[in-house]
């Protein structure tokens, strides 16, 4: 066995030495049971974890994909990888090129990691309302960051439109367009969905995810419906988003006044979400999301952000609707470290009227 493994390793090493460029290696992502080959193989194959206490309370198995275990630390690494991968396959982006995106969060972080791994430049446009910590992090990761005035999507100076114009006016630059580029959804059709199916042995009853771009829910949902049409695909929506009312009532009406969660909720149907096989939607308040975020930390040991708390709170709603003895799958999107300054601050929670959402026995741990 040792000799076989050693021979395989030398074969892999020789193949890499013969490879024409590091950039081209991203087009094909191969996992092995032991050694993973570079950053691209650190995207995907995340653990699927049962939450014991919450499962016991609902009478269902509540399972979560640990997406913070991706190489860049979030579920958005999957989209980032495929946005670049498919652009290269289609000849829209060549070696040494520049990847451009309008983003205020995890997709930009994922793209910066991917670009570092394959020798490309990364340019990020973001609203100037974002925290200095986010700007500093992206710059530390090697991205060029342009904070621009925060204006509505309908304004030509919206950060997404500025990103598009930048790519159009620079040679070998590509705007990844995470919201409407269906390479995002394809990442979850080809990676996340099959992983969940294999890890559960096909024994699941529902998947539920919050949506920003819509890629995760649409991709996983599409894959699951092709496997078994009776698997429920449920959209989890925060306050201030239109998607709950759109799915339930066919109306683009916001429910609530806005959310403290980041990167989820939407005011339109993105191309990634179009024609997604969605069966139902659940609405999750900030209070429910925050309470679950702190329960995940202090009762299950997972230090995650509020979007993860919202996902699990939504999974609980779905489990209660289905009744006992069902399996519901969602994901933990990223780590709480990215939100430490606000979400885990007593003063900040109090300013948002959310301190009482944190179980009182956990108040002593706030900073």
Q: Give the pLDDT confidence score for residue 109 in this predicted structure.
A: 94
CA distances from 96 to 28, 37, 87, 89, 227 (A): 18, 20, 13, 15, 39
Give residue for tokens 């006044």: 257
Q: Known catalytic residue: 76?
A: yes
Q: Give the pLDDT confidence score for residue 128 in this predicted structure.
A: 84
Q: Give the pLDDT confidence score for residue 17 in this predicted structure.
A: 40
List 76, 85, 121, 232, catalytic entry:
76
Q: Give the pLDDT confidence score for residue 28 in this predicted structure.
A: 57
Rounded-to-integer distance, Cα 208 and Cα 223, Å: 13
Rounded-to-integer distance, Cα 178 and Cα 364, Å: 39
Q: Give the pLDDT confidence score for residue 263 in this predicted structure.
A: 85
CA distances from 195 to 13, 39, 150, 264 (A): 27, 18, 38, 23
Are the C-beta atoms of 40 and 81 separated by less than 8 Å? yes
Q: Transcribe 342-358 into DSSP letters.
A: HHT-HHHHHHTT-GGGS
Rounded-to-integer distance, Cα 25 and Cα 17, Å: 11
Q: What tokens were used for 247?
A: 């799915």
pLDDT tens for the chain, 367 residues long, are 333 333 333 333 344 344 445 455 555 555 556 889 999 999 999 999 999 999 999 999 999 999 999 999 999 999 999 999 999 999 999 999 999 999 878 999 999 999 999 999 999 999 887 777 788 899 999 999 999 998 888 899 999 999 999 999 999 999 999 999 999 999 999 999 999 999 999 999 999 999 999 999 999 999 999 999 999 999 999 999 999 999 999 999 899 888 988 888 898 999 999 999 999 999 999 999 999 999 999 999 999 999 999 999 999 999 999 999 999 999 999 999 989 999 999 999 999 999 999 999 999 999 9
Q: Give the pLDDT confidence score for residue 236 in this predicted structure.
A: 98
């Amino acid at each position: 066995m040792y000799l076989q493994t050693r021979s395989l390793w030398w074969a892999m090493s020789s193949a890499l030495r013969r490879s024409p460029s590091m950039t081209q290696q991203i087009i094909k992502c191969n996992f092995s049971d032991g050694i993973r080959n570079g950053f691209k193989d650190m995207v995907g194959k995340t653990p699927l974890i049962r939450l014991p206490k919450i499962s016991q309370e609902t009478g269902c198995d509540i399972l979560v994909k640990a997406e913070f275990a991706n190489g860049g630390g979030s579920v958005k690494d999957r989209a980032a990888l495929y946005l670049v991968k498919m652009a290269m396959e289609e000849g829209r982006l060549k070696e040494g090129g520049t990847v451009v995106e309008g983003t205020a969060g995890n997709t930009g972080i994922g793209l910066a990691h991917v670009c570092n791994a394959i020798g490309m430049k990364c340019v990020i446009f973001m609203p100037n309302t974002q925290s200095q910590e986010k700007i500093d992090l992206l710059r530390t990761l090697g991205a060029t960051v342009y904070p621009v005035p925060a204006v509505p999507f309908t304004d030509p100076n919206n950060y997404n439109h500025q990103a598009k114009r930048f790519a159009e006016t620079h040679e070998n630059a590509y705007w990844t367009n995470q919201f409407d580029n269906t390479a995002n959804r394809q990442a979850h059709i080809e990676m996340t969905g099959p992983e969940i199916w294999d890890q559960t042995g096909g024994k699941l009853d529902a998947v539920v995810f919050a949506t920003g771009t819509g890629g995760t829910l649409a991709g996983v949902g599409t894959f699951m419906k092709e496997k078994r049409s009776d698997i429920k695909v449920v959209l989890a929506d925060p306050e201030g988003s239109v998607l709950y009312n759109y799915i339930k009532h066919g109306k683009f009406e916001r429910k609530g006044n806005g959310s403290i969660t980041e990167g989820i909720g939407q005011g339109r149907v993105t191309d990634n979400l179009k024609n997604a096989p969605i069966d139902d939607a659940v609405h999750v308040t900030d209070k429910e999301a925050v309470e679950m975020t702190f329960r995940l930390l202090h009762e299950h040991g997972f230090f995650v952000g509020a979007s993860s708390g919202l996902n699990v709170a939504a999974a609980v709603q779905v489990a209660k609707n289905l009744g006992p003895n069902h399996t519901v799958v969602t994901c933990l999107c990223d780590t709480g470290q990215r939100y430490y300054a606000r979400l885990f601050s007593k003063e900040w929670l109090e300013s948002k009227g959310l301190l009482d959402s944190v179980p009182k026995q956990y108040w002593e741990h706030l900073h």
